[in-house]
A and B are shown apart, each in its own frame.
Chain A
Amino acid sequence: MSSTVTNTANFIQGEVKARIDKWIANYPADQKKSATMPALRIVQECHHGYLTTDLMDQIAEYLEITPMEVYEVATFYGNYEHEPVGEIKLCVCNSISCMLRGRDEILAAIEKKIGIKPGEMTEDGRFSVKMVECLGACGGAPMMQVGKVYHENLTPENITDLLEEWSK
């Protein structure tokens, strides 16, 4: 599977480092710790969508804080992943407005098309499905987030088409 990278030594260099440094500059000079969240996000993005203890330790060292301070943050917030996820992670909204407008039919269409339920990943590692709470787009319910994009007003038909396209 593509998402197992064994050698992550010196991960914070080059583009990853440059992106983290940009965030560090947004905070007062003596508040580097504030960059913990952006650093976790950037490292996760650049590492197949999930974090490892080794990567978190490197962030701690880079921001000059203790590993525990990084673990605390990394396990508190729902968007950080600690296990491999699909290359395409479908984050389906579970909350009230999406439920009222047919979230269950969307989940059924996903399962029918790619054979997985929330919390699962396809065997080829292409897709995973995650239930998330309200994404602040309830006017477009039912909806999901994939990467940085919101897909709103989902129907069993349009989600099947999307999955078809992404399967290629």
Chain B
Amino acid sequence: MVVQNENCFRLNHLENSWDLDTYVANGGYEVWKKVVAGELEPNEIIEEVKASNIRGRGGAGFPTGLKWSFMNRNAPGQKYIVCNSDEGEPGTFKDRDIMRYNPHALVEGMAIAAYVIGASRGYNYIRGEFWEPYQRFNNAIKQAREAGFLGDNILGSGWDFDLFTHLGAGAYICGEETALIESIEGKKGQPRFKPPFPASFGLYGKPTTINNTETLASIPMILAKGGKWFNDLGVENAGGTKLYSVSGHVNAPGNFEVRMGTPFKDLLELAGGIWKGRQFKAVIPGGASTAIIPAEKALEMNMDYDSIAKAGSFLGAGSVIIMDDQTDIVKVMQNLSHFYWDESCGQCTPCREGTGWLYRVLTRIVEGKGRPEDIAALKDVSGKIMGNVICGLGDAATIALTSALEHYEHEFQHYIEHGCSIFDRQ
């Protein structure tokens, strides 16, 4: 059985689910009240978060409890909590709906995280195009401030925490955490070398914890119901529910909050199955930076890290892009390569030049001017980017393409030999 909407989306069916009154009427800010009243110690919170087995929902899957434990709460000086709502990975659209329908869960989650790491200031970095989600979130901040849940001396506890937003301006790379920090500092969004990680050198050079929107919005429920509750919803290596964004060739695209480990075929069914009565060809399961999986394998996998890894890909941000049997894989790869070329920040030569190369070669192939040596060239350029760059964008630019060449090389071959796609064959 597929159970839905137990966590971030639990209020979505209610009218004005984004309103403070709705949130409070459904148990919202109860955990936060306990925290500021000193009834829940930072160490206990970290233990619960560890027990929940929640892994970072931004895509890398790093254990959240462990990340929080890197911060020294009692070290002197300013520290920051930062939320990553830059959501730009093609196929990903879940954080937008958390902010639109349950923004107070994010406010409460950020407040709790801030308390645990000893930060009195926080920023939510929202991509600039997300105006409606920004307004909902900003309004939630305002309501929480008026209700005394944010600001100075929260509920008479002596604890201060204030929360702000920063809006992006159309740069995917700013979702990379260190580029995001640069961007808040008012600079170009160019990633920094890691280490040092933000936990030791973050925003304005201060210790900073950065988490994804879904990660932080999950915290209040984890603490309300206990880490064990969350852990038991999931599978051995990853707890909880997970938001999957399903798009592409399905009848009912959308976000689905289901349990980690839900069979892929159940998720596909929730999204209404393949559109136009066609057959299922392939899926990119975790956003544009994850490997493509052919239908046969996908139908046997479950939606959790280990099972997807076994099928040859990665869970990423849970961004499931479905393709039907009329899909031209070469054109899909051309589209993805354009994305990475467009979005490369330009600071590493292999990424800056290599992504352009990949795009140009794929365009040449799609235009019917492919050369026999082009497939080898694509592989060679991919190999030169992979592992030789500062951040994950460069690597990501090669992952889907490499997997497409593995499973669908004949489609590229057909273009090169006949100057057209397999669908143009008479």
Contact = CB atoms under 8 A, between A and B. Distances in A.
Contact of A95 (B132, B169, B327, B335): B335
A26 B78 CA distance: 15
Given A100-B321, A136-B130, A149-B131, 8 more contacts: A34-B185, A78-B170, A78-B171, A96-B90, A96-B248, A132-B170, A137-B93, A138-B92
B93 A77 contact: no
A134 interface: yes
A122 B175 CA distance: 34
A141 B128 CA distance: 19
Given A97-B91, A132-B170, A139-B253, A145 B247 contact: no
Interface string B104-132: 00000000000000000100000111111
Closest 5 CB pairs of A and B: A78-B170, A79-B170, A77-B169, A33-B186, A148-B131
Interface string A18-44: 000000001110010111111011000
Given A35-B186, A37-B166, A79 B342 contact: no
Interface string A98-123: 01110000000000000000000000
Residue among B93, B172, B189 with max Cβ neighbours from chain A (10 Å): B93
A52 interface: no
Interface string A134-161: 1111111100010011100000000000
Contacts of B171: 76-78
Contact of B91 (A79, A134, A150): A134
Interface string A54-70: 00000000010100010
B: contact size bracket: 35 or more
Interface of B: 78, 87-93, 95-96, 121, 127-132, 164-172, 183-189, 204, 245-249, 253-255, 284, 288, 319, 321, 323, 327, 331-332, 335-336, 338-339, 342-343, 345
A88 to B, nearest CB: 16
A83 interface: no
Contacts of A91: 129
A139 B322 CA distance: 11
Residue among A37, A148, A149 with max Cβ neighbours from chain B (10 Å): A37
B188 to A, nearest CB: 4
A136 B96 contact: yes
B254 A134 contact: no
5 contacts: A79-B170, A95-B288, A97-B248, A101-B247, A133-B88
A28 B165 CA distance: 13
Interface of A is mostly: mixed
Contact of B254 (A79, A101, A139, A150): A139
A97 B255 contact: no
B170 A141 contact: no
Contacts of A135: 129
A20 B204 CA distance: 21
Nearest to A148: B131
Contacts of A73: 186-188
B87 A136 contact: yes
A47 B254 CA distance: 37
Given A96-B288, A136-B130, A78 B327 contact: no
B183 A37 contact: yes
Residue among A35, A40, A65, A79 with max Cβ neighbours from chain B (10 Å): A79
B327 A94 contact: no
Given A79-B128, A132-B170, A138 B332 contact: no
Nearest to A63: B186
Given A96-B90, A99-B335, A139-B93, A37 B321 contact: no
